[in-house]
């Protein structure tokens, strides 16, 4: 008996094919969601002959599968009690993102409590199957549910076509009527189109940033269409006032303000269709689109959300287009200036949330209101609708396509494992972050994370504010340049490690385009970064004294001079008197000891914000900023650097240069200090001098970049230009 019933139902199932326009019916796909492997196995054995089965062991895994492949599944068999995310939570997610409209759900449970069954039906479940399973009942309910939804999809497609045709006719009549008003008003024929386009754009953005105004797609469509009638009341205004080129008098403006009440009254006096959604929204818009959020508008002085959201949005759209369009009484204002005026409250008070929507879409508004953009948008709407109609007729992927997809997924998972990179993808629609298996294990978090911005484990790994930083990074991308990257520290195993996070933003085809998600990877660069930092530090340090070398000093000094050119800076260059004598009499090891001694005393005599460097054999540089008299600073440092080491008296000669004009270069300050140093040496050594104009002709014969100095860190003693060769003992 069961075999006969099974064969009959198989024939019924294959009859679904015509609804999908297929000559040969492919296996329908069923998703079985249950934390018990035994339960999944029993259900799969019952259905595998006629259906393609996918299994998920918890709700999070099920949501992840539906996120990317909901259109592939004909049915979900869903357990109620599961770890991580139960069946009711899965139903809530499916309702939130509309999957429940296309994918029927049969709940599976051993519970017989009526409140459990009632809650499942309230959340959109189609049927209920009890455990232990009866094979004939399971099969019958599965077949009946799939067949019912197939017929429903067919009916929906027919209704959609009829609604679309009706909406097009309504839109045509509204456009004709609104353009009559524009013609009489002497405005550009694009004003109505602009207001309508901007209304649609703002409403969609509003629904994306807040759930304060629960508007459906149908509501947005009706409000956008009704916005075309916002100024219908101007039919009742005298032409002399309506088209006056100059400023209106107070009396004339009072008459002009009556157009909002006149338009509302015209709609209220309609003999029929008063309760039509378009008429209801048009009444709200006509009467209250000149109200302001602070209560200073007209005609009724409504305040805040006492003003219908339809009128609030149209008011903002109307003001923007009025500013950016030419009128008989004014020139058009540029887009950026108009947006600034609105955001800064120069055009009245608006809902702060709507102002945020305008600010976030400011870059797209200008393009959205172009004629070509509107034509393109219309074509996209028609194409999207056509796609919806075609999809409502079904059409599963071919077996070959599915095999290719499975192969690509297998290949992707293999490379992700081998690369040892933390790979991820994020969908803004479902707010789910999906990590590669290797990446999830590395981070110690689940592969699928719902609401990652609120996940404590990720905040501990990436630090507070990480989600905002990633969002700011994504906002630097464009549809043309969607890639971006950022280096972040992750706390792994109690140790912070540097990772390079590379992301590709996923942009929608909407007008304006929106970021709908992202894919990317995090690559461990810690060891490479540490090696680079170590090599860089070595390259700018003198190995003997640990001070900066000349190249390192210049690298750090120039940004200060260029970054704060109005500050007062000074250079001091000094060398050790008779250092060659110390080397000759006591050896180079003693000379190195003297140099280290000088470096130590130099570090103790300057402030933390000052810089010091060894720029040659026994020559040093000090760079510092000062506010008042420079002489006490130089005298203190000069005194601190003189002393005695192992019987050798250490004296120095020093030259100092001050910044005489704002923004003087590193080279100028260095050369002046060098000239002042030579002046001190010629004056008898063991002294310092500040540079003045009398020293400008002193030739130092310095060759600081010679091969010898670069190799040995001091001037060539055989070089006749070396001033050390002219010293007298």
Instruction: Summarize pLDDT for 609-652 with one digit per residue, the tens.
Output: 899 999 988 999 999 998 888 999 999 999 999 888 888 889 99
Residue 154 CA to its chain's centroid (Å): 40
Across the beta sheet with 515-524, the strand order is: 448-450, 432-435, 422-427, 515-524, 495-507, 483-492
pLDDT value of residue 664? 82
For Cα atoms 116, 117, 123, give the angle at the middle one, nearest 5 degrees.
90
Task: Please give the Cα distance from 485 to 521 (Å, whole number).
Answer: 10
End-of-domain residue from the set 532, 550, 575 = 532
Contact criterion met (CB below 8 Å) for 481 and 507:
no
Q: Assign 336 a pLDDT band (cuts: 50, 70, 90).
A: confident
Q: Assign 156 a pLDDT band (cuts: 50, 70, 90).
A: low
Helix, strand counts (H, E) of the chain: 29, 18
Same domain, 514 and 572: no
550 within some domain = yes
Contact criterion met (CB below 8 Å) for 506 and 498:
no
Same domain, 362 and 266: yes
373 within some domain = no
State the CATH number of the domain containing residue 306: 1.10.3210.10
Is residue 66's pLDDT more than 80? yes
Sign of CA dihedral 454, 456, 458, 463: positive
184 within some domain = no
State the CATH number of the domain containing residue 702: 3.30.70.270
Same domain, 489 and 625: no
Higher pLDDT, residue 154 or 616: 616
Q: For tokens 């890639």, what's the residue?
A: 483
Same domain, 219 and 348: yes
pLDDT value of residue 397? 39
State the CATH number of the domain containing residue 458: 3.30.450.20
**Beta strand pairing call for 495-507 and 483-492:** antiparallel
pLDDT value of residue 725? 43
Contact criterion met (CB below 8 Å) for 591 and 579:
yes
Task: Please give the Cα distance from 2 to 657 (Å, whole number).
Answer: 104
Higher pLDDT, residue 179 or 314: 314
Is residue 705's pLDDT more than 80? no
pLDDT in tens, 448-478: 888 898 888 888 888 888 888 888 999 999 9
End-of-domain residue from the set 312, 347, 368 = 368
Domain count, the chain: 4
DSSP-assigned letters across all residues of 300-362: S---GGGS-HHHHHHHHHHHHHHHHS-BTTBPPPPHHHHHHHHHTTBTB---HHHHHHHHHTH
Task: Please give the Cα distance from 340 to 359 (Å, whole number).
Answer: 9
pLDDT value of residue 203? 92
Contact criterion met (CB below 8 Å) for 623 and 557:
yes
Higher pLDDT, residue 135 or 544: 544
pLDDT in tens, 280-313: 898 999 999 999 999 999 999 999 999 999 999 9
pLDDT value of residue 391? 43
- Give the mean pLDDT of 344-357: 92
Task: Please give the Cα distance from 687 to 652 (Å, whole number).
Answer: 7
What percentage of the chain exceeds 70 in pLDDT?
79
Task: Please give the Cα distance from 81 to 111 (Å, whole number).
Answer: 10
State the CATH number of the domain containing residue 56: 3.40.50.2300
Is residue 172's pLDDT more than 70? no
Task: Please state, in angstroms and as integers, the Cα–Cα distance from residue 510 to each residue in 237, 383, 420, 484, following that order.
Answer: 39, 12, 36, 21
Structure tokens at 592: 């190195």
Q: Assign 171 a pLDDT band (cuts: 50, 70, 90).
A: low
Higher pLDDT, residue 271 or 80: 80
Contact criterion met (CB below 8 Å) for 450 and 432:
yes
Q: Assign 375 a pLDDT band (cuts: 50, 70, 90).
A: very low
Task: Please give the Cα distance from 362 to 220 (Å, whole number).
Answer: 20
pLDDT in tens, 399-447: 544 455 566 666 666 666 666 788 899 988 878 898 888 888 888 888 8
DSSP-assigned letters across all residues of 517-563: EEEEEEEE-HHHHHHHHHHHHHHTB-TTT-SB-HHHHHHHHHHHHHH
Q: Which of 93-107, 116-130, 383-397, 610-624 has the weakest average pLDDT?
A: 383-397
pLDDT value of residue 3? 33
401 within some domain = no
Same domain, 552 and 656: yes
pLDDT in tens, 83-102: 888 899 999 999 888 888 88
Rg, the chain, Cα only: 39
Hey, is 222 helix, strand or coil? helix
Task: Please give the Cα distance from 188 to 67 (Å, whole number).
Answer: 45
Contact criterion met (CB below 8 Å) for 298 and 255:
no
pLDDT value of residue 44? 87
Contact criterion met (CB below 8 Å) for 479 and 507:
yes
pLDDT in tens, 547-584: 999 888 998 999 988 888 888 899 999 999 988 888 88
Same domain, 580 and 456: no
Task: Please give the Cα distance from 98 to 261 (Å, whole number).
Answer: 40
Kindly give, in sequence order, each residue whose CB lies less than 8 Å from that of residue 508, ignoring residues fewer than 6 positions away. Answer: 514, 515, 516
Q: Assign 707 a pLDDT band (cuts: 50, 70, 90).
A: very low
Same domain, 694 and 658: yes
Q: Assign 16 a pLDDT band (cuts: 50, 70, 90).
A: very low
Same domain, 151 and 12: yes
Which of 75, 361, 365 has its CA nearest to residue 194? 365
268 within some domain = yes
Q: Which of 137-141, 502-506, 714-718 has the weakest average pLDDT?
A: 714-718
Task: Please give the Cα distance from 320 to 194 (Å, whole number).
Answer: 9
311 within some domain = yes
Task: Please give the Cα distance from 13 to 115 (Å, whole number).
Answer: 32
pLDDT value of residue 159? 57
195 within some domain = yes
Task: Please give the Cα distance from 506 to 509 (Å, whole number).
Answer: 10
H helix or E strand, kind and range, residue 79: strand 73-79
Same domain, 200 and 150: no
Same domain, 10 and 53: yes
Structure tokens at 222: 């009706």
Kindly give, in sequence order, each residue whose CB lies less than 8 Å from that of residue 638, ignoring residues fewer than 6 positions away. Answer: 574, 652, 654, 688
173 within some domain = no
pLDDT value of residue 131? 81
Which of 567, 396, 302 has its CA nearest to residue 30? 396
209-215 long-range Cβ contacts below 8 angstroms, 24+ apart: 209/353, 209/356, 209/357, 209/360, 210/353, 212/353, 213/309, 215/309
Asked whether the bond before 132 is cis by omega within 30 degrees of 0, the reply is: yes
Q: Which residues form the domain of 91? A: 2-157
Same domain, 572 and 720: yes
Same domain, 553 and 528: no
Task: Please give the Cα distance from 240 to 246 (Å, whole number).
Answer: 11
Q: How many CA atoms lie within 13 A of 606 on its CB side?
A: 23
Average pLDDT, the chain: 80
Higher pLDDT, residue 259 or 273: 259
End-of-domain residue from the set 489, 513, 532 = 532
Which parts of 534-675 are beta strand (E)? 569-576, 611-614, 619-625, 643-645, 648-650, 652-658
Is residue 709's pLDDT more than 60? no
């Amino acid at each position: 008996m069961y075999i006969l019933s099974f064969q009959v139902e198989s024939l019924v199932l294959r009859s679904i094919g015509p609804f999908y326009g297929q000559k040969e019916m492919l296996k329908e796909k069923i998703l079985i969601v249950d934390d018990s492997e035994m339960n999944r196995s029993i259900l799969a054995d019952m259905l595998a002959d006629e259906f393609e089965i996918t299994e998920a062991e918890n709700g999070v895994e099920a949501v992840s599968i539906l996120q990317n492949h909901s259109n592939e599944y004909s049915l979900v068999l869903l357990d109620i009690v599961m770890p991580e995310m139960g069946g009711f939570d899965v139903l809530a997610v499916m309702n939130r993102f509309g999957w429940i409209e296309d994918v029927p759900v049969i709940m599976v449970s051993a519970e017989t409590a009526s409140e459990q069954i009632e809650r499942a039906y309230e959340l959109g479940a189609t049927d209920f199957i009890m455990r232990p399973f009866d094979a004939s009942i399971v099969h019958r309910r599965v077949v009946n549910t799939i067949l019912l939804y197939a017929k429903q999809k067919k009916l929906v497609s027919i209704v959609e076509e009829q609604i679309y045709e009706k909406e097009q006719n309504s839109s045509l009549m509204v456009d004709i009527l609104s353009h009559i008003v524009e013609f009489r008003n002497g405005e550009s024929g694009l004003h109505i189109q602009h207001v309508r386009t901007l209304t649609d754009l703002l409403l969609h953005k509003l629904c994306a940033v807040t759930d304060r105004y629960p508007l459906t797609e149908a509501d947005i469509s009706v409000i956008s269409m009704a916005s075309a009638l916002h100024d219908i009341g101007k039919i009742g205004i005298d032409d002399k006032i309506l088209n006056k080129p100059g400023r209106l008098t107070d009396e004339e403006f009072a008459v002009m303000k009556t157009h909002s009440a006149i338009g509302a009254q015209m709609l209220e006096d309609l003999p029929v269709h008063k309760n039509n959604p378009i008429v209801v929204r048009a009444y709200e818009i006509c009467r209250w689109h000149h109200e302001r959020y602070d209560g200073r508008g007209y005609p009724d002085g409504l305040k805040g959300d006492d003003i219908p959201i339809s009128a609030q949005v149209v008011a903002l759209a109307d003001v923007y287009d009025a500013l950016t369009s030419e009128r008989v009484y004014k020139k058009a204002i540029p887009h950026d200036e108009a947006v600034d005026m609105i955001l800064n409250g120069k055009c009245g008070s608006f809902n702060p949330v709507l102002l945020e929507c305008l600010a976030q879409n400011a870059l797209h508004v200008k393009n959205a209101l172009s004629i070509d953009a509107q034509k393109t948008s219309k074509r996209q709407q028609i194409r999207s609708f056509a796609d919806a109609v075609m999809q409502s007729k079904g059409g599963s992927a071919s077996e070959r396509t599915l095999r290719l997809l499975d192969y690509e997924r297998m290949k992707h998972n293999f490379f992700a494992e081998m690369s040892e990179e933390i790979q991820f993808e994020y969908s803004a629609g479902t707010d789910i972050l999906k990590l590669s298996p290797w990446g999830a294990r590395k981070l110690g978090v689940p592969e699928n994370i719902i609401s990652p911005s609120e996940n404590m484990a990720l905040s501990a790994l990436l630090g507070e504010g990480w989600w905002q930083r990633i969002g700011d990074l994504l906002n630097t991308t464009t549809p043309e340049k969607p890639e971006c990257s950022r280096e972040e520290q992750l706390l792994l195993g109690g140790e912070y490690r540097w990772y390079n996070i590379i992301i590709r933003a996923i942009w929608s085809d909407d007008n304006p385009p929106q970021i709908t998600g992202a894919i990317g990877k995090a690559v461990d660069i810690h060891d490479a970064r540490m090696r680079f930092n170590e090599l860089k530090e070595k390259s700018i340090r003198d190995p003997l004294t640990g001070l900066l070398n000349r190249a390192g000093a210049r690298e750090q000094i120039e940004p200060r001079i260029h970054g704060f050119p109005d500050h007062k800076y000074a250079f001091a260059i000094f060398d050790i008197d008779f250092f060659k004598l110390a080397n000759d009499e006591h050896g180079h090891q003693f000379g190195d000891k003297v140099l280290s001694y000088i470096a130590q005393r130099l570090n103790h005599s300057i402030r933390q914000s000052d810089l010091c460097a060894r720029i040659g054999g026994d020559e040093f540089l000090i760079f510092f900023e000062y506010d008042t008299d420079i002489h006490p600073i130089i005298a203190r440092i000069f005194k601190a650097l003189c002393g005695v080491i192992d019987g050798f008296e250490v004296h120095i000669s020093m030259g100092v240069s001050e910044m005489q004009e704002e923004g003087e270069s590193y080279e100028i300050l260095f050369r002046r200090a060098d000239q002042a140093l030579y002046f001190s040496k010629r004056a008898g050594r063991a002294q310092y001098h500040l540079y003045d104009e009398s020293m400008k002709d002193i030739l130092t014969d310095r060759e600081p970049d010679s091969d010898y100095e670069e190799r040995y860190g001091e001037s060539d003693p055989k070089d006749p230009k070396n001033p050390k060769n002219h010293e007298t003992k």
